[in-house]
Amino acid sequence: MKAAEELRYLILAIQREGNRLLAAELRPLGVTPSQAEVLRVLRDHGPLTLSALGGLLVCETGNSPSRLVDRLVAQGLVQRDTDPSDRRYLALSLTAEGRKLSQRIVAAENVLHKAIDDLVADQPVDQTIETLRVLAGAFPAGEALARRRAAEQDT
């Protein structure tokens, strides 16, 4: 097996297992991993326009996660308001219920993050992350993650 092929399949295997574990943690909360990501991004970076939200999501390619947002609005977790800086746009933010749920999502994510930390204890994680950033940076989802990382460093 070529190194590139093995790397691709290792990333796929880890992504699938991580998503399965996260979905199991989120199931009692009534949200999918993609919905949870929207709530977390709005919690950490909101309020945001729909296109700004789309630019920070890894779960959706492109800049219009309207179906995801529509479901979360219907569930009473996200609200749409006129953007105070430009009335032509809508600003998305969490409702009180969405803020409460986002705290529970953080706890669910922390369960997965602890399991990962335990699995990679005593491994060269920083080097691995740098390698994966180079690879992911060539794709829109990786660029979205880089934008989130940069926004967090700015605050």
For 71-107, write each residue's pLDDT tens digit.
999 999 999 998 777 778 889 999 999 999 999 999 9
pTM for this entry: 0.90
Read off the tokens for 3.
Answer: 């190194």
Helices (H), 1-155: 3-26, 33-45, 50-54, 66-74, 96-119, 125-136, 140-154
Residue 61 has pLDDT above 90, yes or no: no
